[in-house]
């Protein structure tokens, strides 16, 4: 398959690119700094690198890049610095999601493209009555008003849920919600409709597992069927 990865130089995006290439797919990566990718990845014959900040691309350029893609994965996230969190572009994830989806929808009729958005367990599924304690609600509303990336993640998810919806002929989506991310090898993981252990349970999610789950959404139709138009929560399996 042909898959476009946004945020490919990120700590999760790199795993996604690596695993997709290992599985024989053709990968198109939009990255600001290609040198952040390992040299053997960078020189892989199935990888095409587009050197750009995604929001700097014109609509026409984005359309050309998504033209023949079977799936798009967004692992974008704000750099954890004052400028990355509070500077422009404040709506990086939401704006990239919106523009990539627009680009898909301008293409001639083709089978639906899978759009997989990396999000966070801190964003609620509006269609489920996800229980939150008073403390969790307080912390999340504090984050909503003070930390722009939280609001960005909320807007990106809301765009897919409300604007793209579940009867769009050109786009099917899944919003993957990891718990606190860690760097660790692939291991057993669990997926669920909603956080089952509370938001601040301390159950981590290996970035490599997030990538593996995203790749399985692309490759494995029963997995896609289970999670399309949903917001799966992913956590490492309990020890």
Q: Which residue in 103, 129, 101, 127 sits closest to 115, CA to CA?
A: 101
Closer Cβ to ligand NAP, 170 or 197, answer by number: 197
Is the CB of residue 56 less than 8 Å from the CB of residue 38? no
CB of 143 to ligand NAP, least distance (A): 11
CB of 102 to ligand NAP, least distance (A): 17
Is the CB of residue 236 less than 8 Å from the CB of residue 205? yes
Q: Which two tokens stand for residue 123?
A: 């964003």
Of all residues in the shown chain, the one whose CB is closest to ligand NAP is 10
CB of 58 to ligand NAP, least distance (A): 15
Number of helices and strands in the chain (H, E) = 9, 10
Measured CA to CA, the distance from residue 165 to residue 173 in angstroms comes to 9
CB of 196 to ligand NAP, least distance (A): 16
Closer Cβ to ligand NAP, 169 or 186, answer by number: 186
Closer Cβ to ligand NAP, 36 or 127, answer by number: 36
CB of 33 to ligand NAP, least distance (A): 5
Residues lying near ligand NAP in the complex (CB under 6 A): 7, 9-13, 32-33, 36, 53-54, 75-79, 89, 92-93, 118, 120, 149, 153, 178, 180-181, 207
Closer Cβ to ligand NAP, 143 or 170, answer by number: 143
Which residues have a Cβ under 8 Å from the Cβ of 182 and sit 6 or more positions away? Answer: 204, 205, 206, 207
Q: At what angle do helices 92-106 and 59-66 cross, to 10 degrees?
A: 70
Would you call 44 helix, strand, or coil by DSSP? coil
Closer Cβ to ligand NAP, 117 or 164, answer by number: 117
């Amino acid at each position: 398959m042909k898959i476009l990865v946004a945020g490919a130089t990120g700590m999760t995006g790199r795993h996604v690119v690596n695993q997709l290439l290992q599985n024989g797919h053709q990968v198109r990566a939009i990255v600001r700094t290609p040198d952040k990718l390992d040299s053997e990845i960078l020189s892989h014959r199935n990888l095409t690198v587009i050197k750009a900040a995604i929001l700097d691309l014109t609509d026409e350029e984005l359309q050309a890049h998504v033209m023949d893609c079977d799936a798009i994965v967004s692992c974008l996230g704000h750099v954890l610095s004052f400028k990355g969190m509070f500077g422009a572009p404040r709506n990086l994830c939401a704006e990239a999601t919106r523009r990539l989806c627009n680009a898909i929808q301008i293409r001639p009729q083709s089978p639906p493209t899978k759009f997989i958005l990396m999000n966070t367990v801190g964003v609620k599924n509006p269609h489920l009555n996800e229980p939150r304690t008073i403390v969790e609600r307080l912390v999340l509303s504090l984050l909503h008003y003070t930390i722009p990336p939280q609001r960005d993640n909320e807007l990106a998810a809301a765009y897919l849920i409300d604007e793209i919806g579940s009867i769009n002929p050109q786009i099917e989506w899944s919003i993957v919600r990891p718990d606190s991310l860690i760097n660790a090898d692939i291991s057993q993981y669990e997926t669920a409709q909603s956080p089952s252990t509370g938001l601040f349970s301390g159950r981590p999610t290996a970035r490599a597992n997030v990538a593996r789950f995203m790749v399985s959404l692309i490759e494995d139709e029963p997995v896609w069927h289970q999670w399309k138009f949903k917001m799966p929560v992913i956590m490492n399996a309990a020890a």
